[in-house]
């Protein structure tokens, strides 16, 4: 009897220890094509989120990140995406099973954005041969994802509510017309017109520059979403990081009506609303895009 009691105490102690090791916030990052294993160009975004939430953790999605190059094993782009979507689902679901109360954040860059998009929003990806339209991330894990950041996502199409940037065209692996992600309110997808992968431009530097250009805006979005979920779940963690974005102008548009938080409020050619709902102000991210922050 004494041995059984001691074993029970040891088991309970181990279980409590395991729960105690779960962070308030955990970030998943997926790198771009041919980047070395890790977070790739998204590293600074992932790092800023970790810094904003002391004690948070992060892990890179383990997938080929390839487009047929010998340097990444000659894996085709399509197969790399299929493997990547499965990897996102497996890693997110596994972590959520171990730490069901942890708030989750997804960050994906280029092909990494595509696999995060496919895994979180579902709908399949016929461009790459992914025929299942189901969302592979479990229902339990879906409820704990507070924010998703896609940068240079080839699945970009114009008109989505979570688009940020000047692109009004489609990427090379676009979503079908009329697509709507069921978690649109939790997403920001960054893409500018001169990007050759998420849009139809011809400037590679644009594609590689989102972490710098939009890093502060992405962090602000993530902090607000994560803090809202932490608050609703009774957790005590709060974001402490600060963005580096500047500008408090009102944009160049002339449209009427107030703009919600994170909505576009100005920029070259903008004709929509320019006044943000209180307490947010219209801030310049670049000449094409001003956002209520």
Q: What are phi and psi of 62, to 5 degrees?
A: -90, 100
Provide the 3-class DSSP secondary structure of residue 25: strand
Structure tokens at 186: 């939790």
Instruction: Tell me how far CA of residue 198 lies from CA of 164, 209, 218, 225, in angstroms.
Output: 12, 13, 17, 25
Distance from the first to the final alpha carbon of the chain: 62
Structure tokens at 266: 């100005």
**Residue 235 falls in the annotated catalytic set:** no
Q: Tell me the C-alpha distance between 242 and 210, whole Å.
A: 18
If phi over 0 gives left and psi between -120 and 50 gives alpha, with beta otherwise, what is residue 76?
beta
In the beta sheet, which residues pair with residue 150? Answer: 108, 189
- 222 contacts 241 by C-beta, under 8 angstroms: no
> Which of 48, 56, 80, 110 is the catalytic position?
110
Q: What are phi and psi of 81, to 5 degrees?
A: -65, -45
- 84 contacts 117 by C-beta, under 8 angstroms: no
- 157 contacts 174 by C-beta, under 8 angstroms: yes
Report which secondary-structure segment, H or E, holds 52.
helix 43-52
Provide the 3-class DSSP secondary structure of residue 69: coil
Catalytic residue positions, numbered:
110
């Amino acid at each position: 009897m004494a041995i059984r009691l001691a074993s029970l105490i040891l088991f309970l102690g181990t279980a409590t220890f395991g729960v105690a090791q779960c962070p308030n916030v955990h970030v998943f990052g997926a790198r771009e094509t041919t980047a070395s294993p890790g977070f790739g160009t998204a590293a600074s975004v992932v790092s800023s989120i970790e810094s904003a939430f002391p004690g948070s953790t992060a892990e890179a999605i383990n997938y080929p990140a390839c487009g047929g190059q010998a340097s990444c094993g000659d894996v085709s782009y399509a197969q790399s995406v299929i493997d990547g979507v499965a990897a996102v689902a497996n890693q997110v679901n596994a972590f959520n099973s171990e730490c069901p109360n942890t708030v989750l954040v997804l960050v994906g860059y280029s092909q990494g954005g595509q696999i995060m998009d496919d895994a979180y929003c579902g709908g399949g990806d016929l461009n790459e041969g992914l025929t299942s339209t189901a969302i592979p991330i479990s229902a339990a894990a879906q409820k704990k994802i507070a924010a998703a950041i896609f940068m240079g996502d080839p699945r970009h199409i114009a008109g989505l509510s979570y688009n940020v940037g000047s692109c009004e065209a489609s990427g090379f692996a676009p979503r079908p017309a009329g697509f709507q992600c069921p978690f649109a309110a939790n997403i920001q997808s960054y893409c500018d017109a001169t990007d050759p992968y998420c849009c139809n431009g011809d400037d590679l530097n644009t594609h590689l520059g989102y972490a710098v250009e939009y890093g502060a805006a992405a962090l602000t979005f993530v902090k607000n979403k994560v803090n809202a979920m932490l608050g609703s779940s009774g957790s005590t963690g709060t974001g402490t990081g600060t963005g580096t974005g500047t500008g408090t102008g009102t944009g160049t548009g002339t449209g009427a009506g107030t703009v919600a938080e994170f909505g576009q409020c100005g920029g070259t050619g903008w004709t929509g609303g320019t006044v943000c709902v209180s307490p947010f102000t219209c801030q310049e991210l670049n000449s094409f895009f001003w956002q209520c922050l």
